[in-house]
C-alpha cells in the first residue's frame, strides 16, 4: 500500500469485551498524568457533520481529509475535554442539541485503516453520555487519529 512501508505494524485490536452477568467488574483507572511534567501528544482530529469519515479516506498518507484540527493533549484527556475543544473550532458542534460521536482511526494488521467508534457526548450535556471516559481507558494509542462525527 502506498506510503505504508515505513509505518510500524501493531497487533489487531480486540473486539468488544464479553458480556458478564451480574455487576460489572471494577474498572481500573490508569494512573493520573502530571500534566506539568508530562509532554503532551499531538492528536490529529478529523471532524465531519452527519457521520464519521470512511476508512478509505485515510488510505493514502498525506491525503487525509482536509477538515483536520491538531490538538496537543494527554492520554488522560476525557471526551468532555475534547468535546469542548472541538466546539471552539467547529460551529455545528456548538448547537444546543448537537451530539458528538468519537472514533479512533488506526491501521489494522494488514495496513488498512479501521474506524472504531468509542463513545459519544452531547455538546451541552455535562455528565451525560461518555463524558468522563479518557483516551487511555478507551484504548487510544499514540499515533491513532480521532474522527468526530457531529450530529
Indicate if the pLDDT at residue 4 is higher than 70: no
Question: Which pLDDT score is estimated for 10?
Answer: 60
For the residues 78-95, what does the mean pLDDT come to?
96
Pairing of strands 41-49, 99-107: unpaired
Asked if residue 55 lies in contact with residue 147, where contact means CB atoms within 8 angstroms, the answer is no
Question: Which pLDDT score is estimated for 94?
Answer: 95
Of residues 68 and 9, the one with the higher pLDDT is 68
Asked if residue 92 lies in contact with residue 150, where contact means CB atoms within 8 angstroms, the answer is yes
Q: Which three cell numbers stand for residue 14?
A: 480486540
Q: Which three cell numbers stand for residue 111?
A: 495496513
DSSP letter at 65 equals -
The tens digit of pLDDT for each residue in 11-66 reads 556 555 544 433 444 456 667 899 999 999 999 999 999 999 999 999 999 999 99
Place of cell 498525506: 62
The tens digit of pLDDT for each residue in 115-135 reads 999 999 999 977 777 999 999
Question: Which pLDDT score is estimated for 147?
Answer: 98
Q: Which three cell numbers stand for residue 13?
A: 485490536
Question: Which pLDDT score is estimated for 128?
Answer: 77
Indicate if the pLDDT at residue 144 is higher than 90: yes
Asked if residue 118 lies in contact with residue 103, where contact means CB atoms within 8 angstroms, the answer is yes
For the residues 79-103, what does the mean pLDDT come to?
96
Within 10 angstroms of residue 52's Cβ, the number of other Cβ atoms is: 19
> Can you give the pTM of this predicted structure?
0.79
Q: Which three cell numbers stand for residue 61?
A: 498518507
Question: Which pLDDT score is estimated for 125?
Answer: 79
Question: Which pLDDT score is estimated for 32?
Answer: 81
**What structural domains does the chain harbor?**
48-150 (3.10.20.550)
Amino acid at each position: 500500500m502506498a506510503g505504508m512501508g515505513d509505518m510500524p505494524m501493531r497487533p489487531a485490536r480486540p473486539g468488544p469485551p464479553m458480556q458478564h452477568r451480574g455487576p460489572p467488574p471494577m474498572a481500573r483507572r490508569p494512573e493520573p498524568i502530571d500534566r506539568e511534567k508530562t509532554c503532551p501528544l499531538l492528536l490529529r482530529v478529523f471532524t465531519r457533520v452527519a457521520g464519521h469519515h470512511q476508512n478509505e479516506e485515510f488510505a493514502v498518507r498525506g491525503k487525509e481529509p482536509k477538515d483536520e484540527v491538531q490538538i496537543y493533549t494527554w492520554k488522560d484527556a476525557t471526551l468532555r475535554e475534547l468535546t469542548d475543544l472541538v466546539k471552539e473550532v467547529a460551529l455545528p458542534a456548538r448547537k444546543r442539541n448537537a451530539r458528538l460521536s468519537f472514533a479512533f482511526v488506526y491501521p489494522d494488521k494488514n495496513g488498512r485503516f479501521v474506524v472504531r467508534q468509542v463513545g459519544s457526548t452531547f455538546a451541552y450535556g455535562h455528565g451525560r453520555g461518555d463524558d468522563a471516559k479518557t483516551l487511555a481507558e478507551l484504548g487510544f494509542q499514540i499515533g491513532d487519529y480521532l474522527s468526530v462525527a457531529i450530529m
